[in-house]
Chain A
Amino acid sequence: MRLNQDSLHKPFAHVYVEESVMDNPDTKEILAHFEKSVIIPIRHYKDVFNRPRQNVSLQSKCRNLILAQNTGAKLFKGAPVCQDFGYDNFMYTASVQGCIYNCDYCFLKGMYATGNVVIFVNFEDYVKDVLEACAEEPLYLCASYDTDLQALRGIIDYSDRWARLAARTPNLTVEIRTKAAKADFIPHERVIYAFSISPDEIVSKYEHGTASLDRRISNVVEACEMGCQVRLCFDPMVYTRDYEACYNSMMDKVLERVDFGAIKDVSIGTVRISSDYIKKFRRISPDSAAVQFPFEKKEGYCVYPDALNEKMTGLIRSRLEGVFDNDRIFVD
C-alpha cells in the first residue's frame, strides 16, 4: 500500500470522453463544469472502465469521469437481495455507473473493476427502453442504483429527469436513493426519495464523503414538507461494538425531527455482501471492520449471524413501535 498520497490529483481532474459523444449536448453541459480538467478522447468507455488490475481504492480518492453512450442493456431485473417493496415488475437502470461516494460495503466495489464514474449521455435511449418496459404493466424502477444521482445534481440533472418522466408516465414509479447533502426534490406520488440513514459513527468510518446524519435528516424533513414520497432506509446497518448506543442515539435524532405521518415506508437491513465479492472487498479495504467482519455465508451472500441480524434490525423496529405502522416496515 502506497503511503505518500499527497500528490494525488483532485477528483475529476481527467475526463475521458468517447469520440462519438463529443458533440452531445449533455457532454457539453457536463464538460462546462470541468474547464480545468484534462479531456482525453477515447474510442470506447470500456477501454478505460474495464482495464485489468485497477487500483479501486486509490481511484476512489481521486476518481476520474468518463462520458460515453451505452449501446448495451439499460434495464435489469432487481437483484434477489434487494427489497422489492411488494412490486412484481421491479427493475433498475444505470444511466450512471460508479458513485462519487466511497462506502466500504458498497456492492459497486465488487461489481466494477474501477473506482471511476461513467455517465451515459444517451439518456433518451434509457427513456425509450423504460417506456417500452412499462407500456403493458406498472414498472417500479430504481434509477439511482449503481450511483447516487442526487449527489451528481451539480453535474447532471438525471435525478430530476427520472422524476419528471415518472410524473408524466402513469405506469412508472421511480425510486431515487441517496446519501447526498444536496436537497432538491420533485414531489409526486410516483417519485420515491429513499434516504439511507446511518449514525454519524458509521458515516465517518464507512460511508466516506456522504452527508452527515443531521444533513440527511434535514433533507428528509424538507422532502416531507414538500409533499414528496419519502422512504427511510435504515439499511445497511453496520456492526460496531457499541452499535446499540450508536443506533439508539441515531433513532433519538430521527424520532425527534421526522414527522412519521409523512413517511411512505421504512426499510431495515444489515450489511450483506455477495460471496463472490468478499475477497475483493477485503483486499480493497483491509482496515474496514465493515468488510472484515467474520460473516456467515447464506444463499450466496455474506451476512451477519441470524441472532445478531435480528438484534440489530429489532432495535430499529422496537424504536418505531407505536410511531410507525408495522405493515409499512420492510425488513431484509
Chain B
Amino acid sequence: MIYIFAALYPELEPVIKEFSLINKGDSVYVGDNIVATVTGVGKVNAAFSVGRTMSVYTPSDDDMAVNIGIAAGSDVGTIFLINSIHDRDTDKYYYPDMLYDLGLAEKALTTVSSVVSTVDDNLYDMEASAIYQTVSKYISPDNMFFVKTVSDAGANKNTKFTPEYVSNLMSSQVEVIKKLLTLDERIYINPINIVDVYSEKLFCSEYMRNELAQLVNFARTLDVDAEALLDDIISNKNIVSRKDGREVLDAFKSRLTS
C-alpha cells in the first residue's frame, strides 16, 4: 500500500485522476493500493491529517509513504527527491533512507512556517518535517519518499499560483508514483498451517506451540520437509497427552540438529 500526502488538492489532482481514486471524505481518496490525503497547509495540519489517515488505515512497516507537492527553489519546474529535511523552527534534521534509485535528482529541503521570499540552493516547503515525524511512527525510513517540484523562487517573484499551474507542475510526479507502485510487490509468506495442525495433534501448550513454530521454520531454512519428518516420528506413536507431544517435539528437534 502507498500512502500519499499533499498539502493542496491541485497537488494531488493528477494522481487522483490517473489512478481513479475515490473520495472517501475527510480529504482522503482511495484506490487500488493507494490511500491519498490532502493535508492542508502547514505543519499542524499535516501532522493531524497524517495521524488521522494512519490511525484509520493502520499501515504495516512495509507500506510506503510519499509526500508529493510543490516547493520553493531556484530550479523552477524541476522535480527532486528529498534526501534531507531541516525543520527551521526546531532546528532538527530528518533523513529519509535513500535506498531506491528512482532516477530523480536529489536535494535538501527546509520546512518553514511562513512563505519564503528568497531562496538559496535548498528547497522550501511547509509540511515535510511534520509528515516525516508523524509517518515515522508507523513506517520505516526506507519506505518514506519526499518528492517536490519547484514552483517558484520565493513569494516576491510574482508567480501566479492558480490551481491549473500547480496541477500542471505536478503531472510529472504521477510517473514517480507509478514507479513506486512497481516496488510495492511483495512476498506474502503463507501462515504456517502445519503449526496449527501439529500443535493440535501434539496437545501443545502455547509455549510448545511457539517452539514447534520455531522448529518448523528452522526446518524450512534447512530445506527439510517438516511435515514428512513429523509424520515419520509420529508414525509409531499413540499420542494421547501433552507429555506424548513433548516427546515428539524433542525428537523433532533432535532429528533437525544432530
Contacts and interface: CB of A to CB of B under 8 A. Distances in A.
Contacts of A2: 62, 183-186
A77 interface: no
A62 B215 contact: no
B108 A40 contact: yes
A292 B214 contact: yes
Given A7-B101, A38-B106, A308 B187 contact: no
Interface stretch (A20-28, A182-190, A282-290): A282-290
A210 to B, nearest CB: 20
Interface in A257-287: 286-287
A4 B101 contact: no
Contacts of A293: 218, 257
Interface residues of A, number: 40
A16 B98 CA distance: 11
B100 A9 contact: yes
B61 interface: yes
Contacts of A8: 99-101
Main SS class of interface, A: loop
A138 to B, nearest CB: 41
B165 interface: no
A154 to B, nearest CB: 22
How big is chain B's contact interface, by range? 35 or more
B183 A4 contact: yes
A286 B211 CA distance: 15
B253 interface: yes
B142 A54 contact: yes
Given A9-B98, A241-B222, A294 B211 contact: yes
B32 to A, nearest CB: 17
A153 interface: no
B45 interface: no
Interface string B37-53: 00000000000000000
Contacts of B220: 287
Interface in B47-78: 61-62
A40 B101 CA distance: 16
A43 B187 CA distance: 37
B222 A289 contact: yes
Given A1-B62, A1-B189, A51-B141, 16 more contacts: A1-B187, A2-B183, A4-B185, A7-B102, A7-B179, A9-B99, A13-B101, A40-B84, A40-B98, A43-B93, A47-B94, A55-B141, A241-B222, A289-B222, A292-B221, A294-B253
Given A7-B101, A53-B141, A294-B257, A286 B218 contact: no
Contacts of A304: 257
Contact of B99 (A40, A52, A53, A62): A62
B140 interface: yes
A294 B184 CA distance: 33
Contacts of B183: 2, 4, 7
Given A3-B187, A14-B83, A289-B222, A38 B62 contact: no
7 contacts: A2-B186, A3-B185, A4-B182, A4-B185, A47-B95, A55-B142, A292-B221
